[in-house]
Structure 1
Amino acid sequence: MNESVYITGHKNPDTDSICSSIGYAELKKRLGVQAVPVRIGKINKETAFVLERFGVKEPEYLKTVKTQVSDLDLDVIPPVSEDISIKTAWNIMQKNNRQVLPVTDDAGKLLGIISLSDITNSYMASQGNNVLSKSHTPLRNVTETLNARLVCGNIDDVFRSAGKVVIATMAPDSLEPFVEKNDIVLVGNRKDSQMKVLKAGVSCLIATCGGHVDKDVLELAEQKGCIVMETNHDTFTAARLINQSIPVGYVMTKNNLICFNVHDFIDYIRDKMLQTRFRSYPIVDDDGTVKGFVYRYHLISPRKKKVILLDHNEMSQTVDGIDQAEILEIIDHHRIGDIQTGSPVYFRNDTVGSTATLIANMYVENGIRPTKEIAGILCAAILSDTLNLKSPTTTYLDRETVSQLAEIAGVDPNRFAAEMFQAGSSLADMNPDQILYNDFKDYNLSRYKIGIGQINAGDPQNVKDLKGSLLEHMKKVQQEKGYSLLLLMMTDIVKESSHLLYFGREEDLIRDAFGAEPRDNEVYLEGVVSRKKQVVPLLTNAIQNTPR
């Protein structure tokens, strides 16, 4: 069975991150890989416009790729019903070399577990001679355990008011002190003894040693409402086996039962296992349906989630739990970050304006033509990341790829870019947090933790109107998350410039990086529209030139 491969962009994803993930997942599927595009953050308004425009479904949200119980090769053990006999449960265990069985209701929900120790403890412990009544043992269990024939009674009945189990080996006249009303009596083929116990009002008569009941005995049993069985077992064997007919529900472990959910993380269940002595633990889903058992040996080499990273290669930007996942590929167009892998992977990094450019050309390399919808969202991703091919990151390959994708998608690149930027630039219904994290990335530059958000501000008046509330929110975020510096690029695509708002204790970095004097936590950067090529490199150089 093929395992799912999750394809994801970075946190606080932009249009390139989302559309590239969808496009690459579609290519992988057509190449026979069970690929699933996912997102690790909310999509912004621009991306939502693009997906709706081309009728493409938004990827599912993936919170973490930490190893979960669902990633283990669980032991799947067919469940048993709570009313089967412990003898039947024992036989199932011996046949399948099992030491434990899940006990479920008709819907498959876990009621308890029956183990070898539960069975042996119940058999060795003193259960009393009225255990069939206390456990509400079904008649069916007794006939199966004793290999008996039911000659009077309803096979679907259970022992509810039965008394003790008695072996009637004495003479009929001597039975009275030992046999009482509602008892279950094991008796041989002596007719006088059979009649005597029936007249005493027993609830069940079991004729052993291949004994049979005569017609008149059977008639009396029917009159008295007494159950009658016949078995070929000798009396000793029948007496030894009869307690093995009690239902597993009576002896199973159901109180203080330790079980795990399929969504539990391995770290959690490992700690729980260390605190307990059990060999195995049942696993259930959210509905309580049993899915299997986990043993300690399962944790030695768990199956890791398989992940492909797009549009980033830094730990601060990637999905939580990546250290417990298996990275298969990295496709990016940014600087080389700090992601580490345990084995060699396919790593593709090129100086193009968009990850979507690389994805689109991988379609060509594999001789596959993208659908109209995929071509449309990949084209949109390139236009978004290159600011309609005006960004300094734009290359010849970006322009050629946009031209080819636009033809397949049936769109005019310039007109579509204008519509897309217009849809994403409206800040009227966005709060400061949504604006900051519209397209946000973390960077660990030497000893500095820096966060940079970017949004198309459109009307310059937006900067003036929102500056106060944005800086107040940035101050809160900077202090809560420990950023050395928090920046927000409010970019005007038409004028090809950005208002850079910042908050943090490293104001000198702004001055050194951009050669401009900050004023009221703002710097106007003419000609600056690219975070990747015009902001991060300048900050990096300024940090490198700053004395420690």
Structure 2
Amino acid sequence: MEKVYVVGHKNPDTDSVCSAIGYAYYKNELEKSKTFIPARAGELTNESLFVLNYFKIKPPIHLETLEPTVEDLELKDPIFVSSDTPVYDVAILMESKGIKNVPVVSKSRMIGVVTESNLARVYVRRLKIEPLVIHPVSFDQLVRVLKAEVVCDYLKEKIVAGKVHIAVDALHVLLGKVEIGDVVIVGDNEPAQIALLEKGAKLMIIVNNAPISNRVLEIAKEKNAAVLRVGFDAFGASKLINLSLPVTLVMSKKFPTVTKKDTLEDVKEIVFTSKLRAAFVEDEKGKLLGVITRTDLMKDIKKKVILVDHNEITQAPDGVEKAEILEIIDHHRLGGLSTLNPVFFYNEPVGSTSTIVSEFALRDDVKLEREIAGILLAGIVSDTLFFKLSTTTPKDKSMAQFLAKVAKLDLEKFAKRVLKEGMRIPENVDPVSLLKRDVKIYEMEDESFAVSQVMTSDFSSLLKEKEKFSNALKSLRGELGVNHFFVLFTNPIEEASLVMVEGDQKIVEKAFDVEKKDGMFLLKNVMSRKKDFVPRIGEILRRERR
């Protein structure tokens, strides 16, 4: 079934995560021909983790890139053999399946690969083994490979091993070579057959369907030996004995492996430069999952995605330009994201993408499970700061009340718990990591700026760490390659934000008509990055360019 990933923006906040889960649920209810998978493009915040744990919902899968990866291929179940398989069976398998490489697996892990060149060396060079030797192989397996008639079998042990002798020398010379337990290949020569059994040969292979006397059979019984008869000559028998060897003696132990997370671009480089012209897919435990050949890589493979809670290229997951975007569901300003094909695009100026998803479900009579309703409610509460942000609309409030009823939750109590988790800053947290949790990049022609937002219930604790955050701003400005970096420390209780800037400080002064105090700007009634802060910063930057 075709997979479609529903994914939010980089550094996902709670609304991004919850709307992805909710929209995937909604689409799965309506379109049964596809599988919609909720995904995320970054690590989860404490608030998001709290919400997911509260409703016992698995986190969306983490997509490191939207570039096509191995998991986007339709891999067939791998054809492989076990470590004790004879080379003969591998050759038959290759011919019947039309394949050139056969993995060798032991305890679910790939330990080698048999190739056509491996088989050629066995057949032509006899593996450079002189004299011919049978490595330990079961009697039944040898009979099967030789397609032999078992004339008699008095072996006490059913494992055959030892040197193989062909009766071409003078008998006295051959008898000088044969040791107890060896294998002999002989034709229609009763005296030689008897002498070789008397000398201690444990397995005698009679070629050309030659007759076997009762006397030979009696001696075989006395000596606990076995006698086989085949229809081909001694040369053919020796070749097939070579092919009875276990694959572990002929396989290549070096082979290229990839994981399901590897991009197809990287896999192409591996496959096209490998002598095997193939790569073997393994999971994290080393289990073989499939084989990728050049034919697999000739197809035009793209991840199919639905973007939620963003429509700007700078906020989209890495590799979005190599994905096939099917839909965009958002509530932000229009960004610079473009597509090759027409897509369903829905953008509504409400406080949360989760509001839009809830509206769709209500419109299309999609029944929401209690957990999904709760997840979507958390997205609305988080993105509107429980209706305190200026982006909040009547629709956000009505949808939240509807969802609280479905989820059987006290709206106010639940909202306070969610926001409390969102404002909780772990002790000894790395300032750089904290600022990267919720940062968005904006581009305006030749200007670019980043805005990070950190929720807090206590400005005083942040002021103590002002120098650390200042250094973090400098580091991130360089790392992200932006002209300006702003961070909003937003306190919903005081309905204000403290702002630090790395870049042109006058931008904030002009945008909000405030002065910096102790290295920070206090902006009252500024809590929404999307509506209260970014538009005014953008207006100043536009004005300065004129």
State whether TM-score is above 0.5.
yes
Letter of the 2:178 partner, please give it.
K
Identify if the C-alpha distance between structure 1 residues 157 and 492 changes in structure 2 by more than 3 Å, giving closer, same or farther. Answer: same
- CA 1:430 to 1:359, structure 2 compared with 1: closer, same or farther past 3 Å? farther
Q: Which moved more, 1:536-545 or 1:311-320?
A: 311-320
| Distance of 1:465 and 1:525 partners within structure 2 | 19
Corresponding residue for residue 99 of structure 1: 100
Residues 352-367 of structure 1 mapped to structure 2, 5 A cutoff: 352-367=350-365
Query: Partners in 2 of 1:328 and 1:258 — Cα distance?
Result: 34
Aligned to 1:503: 502
Contact 1:444–1:450 (8 Å) recurs in 2: yes
- 8 A contact 1:181–1:203 mirrored in 2: no
Q: Pick from 404, 407, 411: which aligns with 1:406?
A: 404
TM-score by length of 2: 0.89
**Partner Cα separation in structure 2 for residue 443 and residue 112 of structure 1:** 50
State the match for 1:23 in structure 2. 22
Deviation at 1:8, TM superposition (A): 2.0
Q: Conserved in 2, the CA contact under 8 Å of 1:327 and 1:341?
A: yes
Superposition pairs for residues 277-296 of structure 1, below 5 Å? 277-296=275-294
Aligned twin of 1:117: 117
Deviation at 1:386, TM superposition (A): 2.0
User: How many Å separate the matches in 2 of 1:521 and 1:445?
Assistant: 26
In the alignment, the residues of structure 2 paired with residue 57 and residue 257 of structure 1 have an alpha-carbon distance, to the nearest angstrom, of 36
Q: TM-score, normalised by structure 1?
A: 0.89
Pairwise CA RMSD: 2.8
SS at match of 2:306: strand
Alignment-derived partner of residue 9 in structure 2:
10
Deviation at 1:357, TM superposition (A): 0.9
Q: Which residue of 2 aligns with 1:181?
A: 178
- Structure 2 match to 1:537: 535
SS of 1:263's partner is: coil
Aligned to 2:456: 457
Residue 374 and residue 141 in structure 1: after superposition, are their counterparts in 2 closer, same or farther (change >3 A)?
closer
**Closer, same or farther: CA 288–544 of 1 in aligned 2, 3 Å:** same
Change (3 A) 1:525 1:243: closer
Partner of residue 474, structure 1: 473
Unaligned stretches of 5+ residues in structure 2: none
SS in 1 for 2:99: coil
- Residues 165, 184 of structure 2: 8 Å contact kept: yes
Matched with 2:370 is: 372
Deviation digits for residues 150-203 of structure 1 (CA, Å, limit 9, x no counterpart): 3225497444332x43135x8xxx411234213533223443231122233334
Alignment of 1:57-206 (within 5 A): 57-74=58-75, 76-105=77-106, 107-125=107-125, 127=127, 130=130, 132-133=132-133, 135-150=135-150, 151-154=152-155, 157-162=158-163, 164-168=164-168, 174-179=170-175, 180-182=177-179, 183-206=182-205
Which residue identity is paired with 1:118?
Answer: N
Helix, strand or coil at the partner of 1:524: strand
Change (3 A) 1:128 1:446: closer
- Contact kept, 8 Å, 2:101 with 2:276, in 1: the verdict is no
Q: How far is 1:463 from its partner?
A: 4.5
- Deviations along 1:350-397, one digit per CA (max 9) or x if unpaired, are 111110110000101221132222222322322222232232212232
Give 1:177's aligned amino acid: V
Alignment of 1:302-341 (within 5 A): 302-341=300-339
- Matched residue of 2:20: which SS? helix
**For residues 24-39 of structure 1, what are the structure 2 equivalents within 5 Å?**
24-31=23-30, 32=32, 33-39=34-40
**TM-superposed deviation, 1:266:** 1.9
* Long gaps (5+) in structure 1: none
Q: 2:524 aligns with which of 523, 526, 540?
A: 526
Comparing 132-141 and 331-340, the one that deviates more = 132-141
State the partner residue of 2:41.
40
| Structure 1 residues 11 and 152: alpha-carbon distance in aligned structure 2, compared to 1, 3 A threshold | same
8 A Cα contact 1:456 1:491, kept in partner: yes
2:380 is the counterpart of 1:382: yes
In 2: Cα distance, 1:3 partner to 1:395 partner: 36
Moved more, 538-547 or 474-483: 474-483
1:316 partner SS: coil
Aligned residue for 2:250?
A: 251
Residue matched to 2:258: 260
Contact 1:357–1:378 (CA<8 Å) still a contact in 2?
yes
CA shift for structure 1 position 532 = 0.6
State the 1:136 CA deviation. 3.8
Cα contact 1:84–1:141 (8 A) shared by 2: no
Q: Which residue of 2 aligns with 1:342?
A: 340
Deviation string 1:499-525 (CA, Å, 9 cap, x unpaired) is: 222222x22322232232334432122
Change (3 A) 1:521 1:87: same
User: In the superposition, relative to structure 1, how do residues 392 and 119 fare at CA in structure 2: closer, same or farther (>3 Å)?
Assistant: same
Identify if the C-alpha distance between structure 1 residues 521 and 408 changes in structure 2 by more than 3 Å, giving closer, same or farther. same
1:299-342 CA distance string (max 9 Å, x none): 22253332221111222222223233322221110112222333
CA contact (8 A) 2:6 2:37 kept: yes
Q: Does the aligned pair in 2 maintain the 1:67–1:325 contact within 8 Å?
A: yes
Deviations 1:461-519, CA, capped at 9 Å, x for gaps = 34533433322322332234333222121223234322222222x22322232232334
Query: Given that residues 139 and 155 in structure 1 are in contact (C-alpha distance below 8 angstroms), is that contact kept between their aligned partners in structure 2?
Result: no
The offset of 1:55, in angstroms, is 4.1
Q: Is the 8 A contact 1:84 1:248 kept in 2?
A: yes
1: distance between equivalents of 2:435 and 2:260? 36
SS of the residue corresponding to residue 315 of structure 1 reads: coil
Deviations 1:279-300 (A, max 9, x none): 3333333333332321123222
Q: CA deviation at 1:245?
A: 3.1
Query: Residue 449 of structure 1 aligns to a residue in which SS?
Result: strand
* Matched residue SS, 2:443: strand
